[in-house]
Structure 1
Amino acid sequence: MSAVSGTTRDAKRARTAQRILEAAQEEFATHGYKGTTVRAIAERAGVHASLVMQHYGTKADLFAIAVQLPKDNPQGAKDHLMDVLDVRLGELPPETRALVRSMLTSPEAEASVRTFLDERVNNLEQSFEGDDAQVRALLAVSSILGLTIAQHFLKLSAFDDVPHETLVKAAHAWLSAKT
């Protein structure tokens, strides 16, 4: 492309990669990893499926990039945690329910959950500021797992008495608290 038009080949490539990434984030958020296809990502991005692979390699590679939080963005991290809490305090998708239920009895499920949660802690830590970023990330991820287990598997009766919105509001206050 000419300099007159202001669009270089590299700029077009970068815009295409960004459209693919945004489409992947939407697809993974809507359908989960297993329910998302490269073809669906390509369709949402308005590109051929081969371009998805060209830019990102495998579906697993694209997923790893799509779920990363921006570095040094505490507000983005807090917003993400609120979204996760909102989902975990609602109805769990069947695949999440199966994985969490199996993590204590199946070494494969245990390894899968551990790997996922370790990645979430590492990613969240990079989004937080301060010397205690790793500790806060570890506490946030562990707490969300605890809430998930307490509500959906142990079915603590106290959850019956607290409206969903109240739980989310209290979690927001907890995540916003300064230490």
Structure 2
Amino acid sequence: MPESLSRKDRRAATAARILEAAQAEFGAHGTRATIRGIAQRAGVDPSLVLQHYGSKDRLFTLAVQPVASVTADDVDDHLRTVLDARLRELPPATRALIRSMFTSEEAAGLMRTYLQERVEALAQASDAEDAELRATVVVSSILGLTIARHFIGLPGLGTDAPSAPDRVADVVEPWLAALLAETGDT
């Protein structure tokens, strides 16, 4: 770290490095990640991890925090962006949250809240009588694709083929759009 940074800036940079390391460790090991492993990845003493974040549980909560919600106005672009992101490399926070949601009630609660926000945003963009159900199926389908591709390694999703995400998106995008439409026609 450059010496010209203030103490406050150096502290913030260290906290950011620890948080980034925690995202990677929780992504790789779920809730089995350790303070020692996080500290080693961040290049700091384990006591600094606790000094900055207080506990492993608090650090976990911050490390897996989902990104902000989408508005109903940008549903089509959002679906394309999310699908593209889920078919390529997952951000460490997303990987950590998905890996941990099966073993941590806290992670499951965060994921449930995050997914429900997505459902509500998508449902608001539709005039369909069953818009919430349709949105729930879309959100669940993307989560299923993410798990099958990144955690199970389902061969049909081509985790080892560079062009696979584009081919999968070509198949899935029209299907997801049709689910959100009032009729099956899109």
Q: Same fold (TM over 0.5)?
A: yes
| C-alpha separation in 2, matches of 1:172 and 1:102 | 27
How far apart are residue 80 of structure 1 and its match?
A: 1.3
Q: Which residue of 1 aligns with 2:26?
A: none
Query: Which 5+ residue runs of structure 2 have no aligned equivalent?
Result: 1-18, 21-65
The 8 Å contact of residues 82 and 171 in structure 1, kept in 2 or not, is answered as: no
- Partner residue, 1:69: 71
Which of 101, 104, 112 is the equivalent residue of 1:103? 101
Aligned residue in 2 for 1:57: none
Measure how far apart 1:68 and its partner are.
3.3
Q: Which residue is equivalent to 1:125?
A: 123
Q: The residue matched to 2:152 in structure 1 has which SS?
A: coil
Separation of aligned partners in 2, 1:108 and 1:159: 29
Give the aligned partner of residue 53 of structure 1: none
Alignment of 1:16-35 (within 5 A): none
- Find the aligned partners of 2:156 and 2:90 in 1 and give their Cα distance: 18
Whole-angstrom distance in 1 between the partners of 2:85 and 2:70: 18
Q: Is the CA contact 2:84–2:169 (under 8 Å) kept in the aligned structure 1?
A: yes
Answer whether contact 1:103 1:113 (CA < 8 A) is retained. yes
Kindly report which structure 2 residues correspond to 1:152-163, keeping only aligned pairs within 5 A, or say none.
Answer: 152-160=150-158, 163=164
Q: Is the 8 A contact 1:77 1:127 kept in 2?
A: yes
Asked if 1:171 corresponds to 2:169, the answer is no
Equivalenced residues, count: 115
1:86 counterpart SS class: helix
Q: In 1, are the aligned partners of 2:70 and 2:78 still within 8 Å (CA)?
A: no
CA RMSD of aligned residues (A): 2.5
